[in-house]
């Protein structure tokens, strides 16, 4: 049996005590860090709980100065230090936070904008080159010569543009009320007015000081290989009184007129009156072609494709195009200036203050093979 010397016992005891002290010290540091994190979280929570005049979503200094100084009280002197708030076209460019809120609401309110291709431009005009004939190619052996291929054909897209404006008004008493969520109200009012005007222009705009809608494009019954660039193909159906005897077959034909690549991401577009008739259609087995979305946020479907209810689409009638089907992200282009400008007008309609908002927007068919139309014959 080994006998431990008293010195060895003492050294072991000191070692255990030192380890315990080190552990206690590390635990103390950890507790201090945790307490500091808790204190920071508490400060952040208290700050977030404080009411911010004009809304907490736009609490940045630029937005606060723009809203409190110019929009609420009309003081332009407070805008001199803001790089984004410079007079342009009779108004001031709104801060990015407010402009982003307007754009987000537009995507929710404007049905065509939600499915089309949207590009931001920094100038009044926008031009885009696209190939219409494709690029020639061929197969060769590893050491064979590579003959020159044909030159691809190009077409230029220059969407007609116009100035879209809204002119919401609020009383000065509302503006002076610190509890009035001014930014949210202004973004909602502008977006609602813009969406109503956009909806009509993107569908049937004539291209004069406004976008050219896809229903204003030339149309023909010929296939993709025979039509001129920019001309939409239509499928004739029905008569002056409405659909054919078997309209569901026409809808199936319309789907398969679209190229397979464009069917990935395709959407039906029609108004509520047409939609009411389409929802009653059944296949040969008696099953409805319409399939309601079973999950919140999931779109209703027709023949497996989402349906967009666009109020500006025409009703079923002789010579009309009540139904469109296509990949609008490939088929329709929306070009817009990213900056919205606002002019404060407290004089025209006292005691109300008007906020004249302007944005430059253009639109045109981009790929005429990507959108098909159903036409009711005369």
Domains of the chain plus CATH, in order, are 56-132+152-209+335-364 (3.30.2400), 216-333+366-376 (3.30.2320)
Residue 95 main-chain phi, psi, to 5 deg? -60, 155
Query: What pLDDT was estimated at residue 29?
Result: 75
In percent, the amount of the chain with pLDDT more than 90 equals 26
Rounded to an integer, what distance in angstroms lies between the CA atom of residue 342 and that of residue 194?
Answer: 14
> Within 13 Å of residue 358, how many CA atoms lie on the same side as its CB?
17
Q: Is the pLDDT of residue 237 over 80?
A: yes
pLDDT (tens digit, 9 = 90+) per residue, 137-174? 778 888 888 887 776 677 778 888 888 888 888 887 87
pLDDT (tens digit, 9 = 90+) per residue, 315-357? 988 889 999 999 999 999 999 876 788 887 888 888 888 888 8
Nearest Cα neighbor of 358 from 190, 117, 244, 216 is: 190
Query: What pLDDT was estimated at residue 154?
Result: 72
Name the pTM for this structure: 0.70
Query: What pLDDT was estimated at residue 52?
Result: 40
Q: Any bridge partners for residue 365, and if so which?
A: 332
> Which of 8-12, 42-46, 255-259, 279-283 has the weakest average pLDDT?
8-12
Angle, alpha carbons 106-370-214 (nearest 5°):
55
Using alpha carbons, list the distances in angstroms from residue 168 to 100, 165, 180, 191, 349. 18, 10, 15, 10, 11
Sign of CA dihedral 363, 259, 251, 277: negative
pLDDT (tens digit, 9 = 90+) per residue, 243-296? 777 788 889 999 999 999 999 999 999 999 999 999 988 887 888 888 887 776
**Distance between first and last Cα of the chain:** 116
How distant is the alpha carbon of residue 225 from its chain centre? 32
């Amino acid at each position: 049996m080994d006998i431990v010397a008293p010195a060895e016992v003492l050294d072991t005891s000191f070692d255990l005590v030192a380890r315990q002290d080190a552990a206690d010290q590390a635990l103390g540091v950890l507790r201090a860090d945790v307490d500091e994190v808790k204190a920071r979280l508490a400060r952040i929570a208290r700050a977030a709980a404080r009411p911010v005049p004009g809304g907490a979503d736009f609490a940045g200094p630029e937005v606060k100065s723009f809203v409190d100084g110019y929009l609420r009280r009309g003081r332009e002197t407070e805008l001199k230090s803001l790089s984004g708030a410079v007079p342009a076209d009779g108004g001031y460019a709104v801060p990015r936070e407010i402009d982003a809120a307007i754009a987000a609401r537009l995507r929710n309110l404007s049905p065509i904008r939600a499915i089309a291709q949207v590009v931001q431009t920094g100038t009044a005009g926008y031009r885009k080159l696209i190939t219409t004939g494709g690029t020639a190619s061929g197969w060769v052996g590893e050491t064979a010569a590579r003959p020159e291929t044909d030159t691809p054909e190009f077409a230029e897209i220059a969407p007609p543009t116009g100035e879209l404006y809204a002119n919401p008004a609020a009383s000065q008493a509302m503006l002076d009320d610190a509890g009035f969520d001014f930014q949210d109200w202004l973004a909602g009012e502008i977006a609602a007015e813009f969406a109503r005007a956009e909806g009509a222009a993107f569908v049937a705009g004539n291209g004069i000081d406004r976008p050219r809608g896809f229903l204003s494009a030339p149309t023909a019954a010929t296939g993709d290989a025979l039509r001129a660039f920019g001309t939409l193909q239509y499928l004739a159906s029905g008569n002056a009184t409405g659909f054919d005897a078997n309209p569901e077959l026409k809808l199936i034909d319309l789907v398969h007129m679209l190229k397979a690549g464009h069917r990935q991401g395709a959407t039906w577009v029609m108004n509520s009156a047409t939609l009411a008739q389409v929802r009653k259609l059944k296949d040969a087995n008696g099953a409805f072609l319409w399939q309601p979305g079973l999950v919140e946020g999931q779109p209703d479907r027709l023949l497996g494709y989402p349906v967009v209810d666009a109020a500006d689409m025409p009703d079923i009638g002789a010579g009309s195009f009540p139904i469109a089907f296509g990949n609008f992200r490939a088929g329709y282009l929306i070009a817009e200036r990213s900056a919205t400008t606002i002019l404060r007008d407290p004089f025209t309609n006292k005691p109300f203050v008007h906020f004249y908002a302007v944005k430059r927007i253009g639109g045109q068919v981009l790929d005429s093979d990507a959108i098909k139309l159903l036409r009711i014959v005369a």
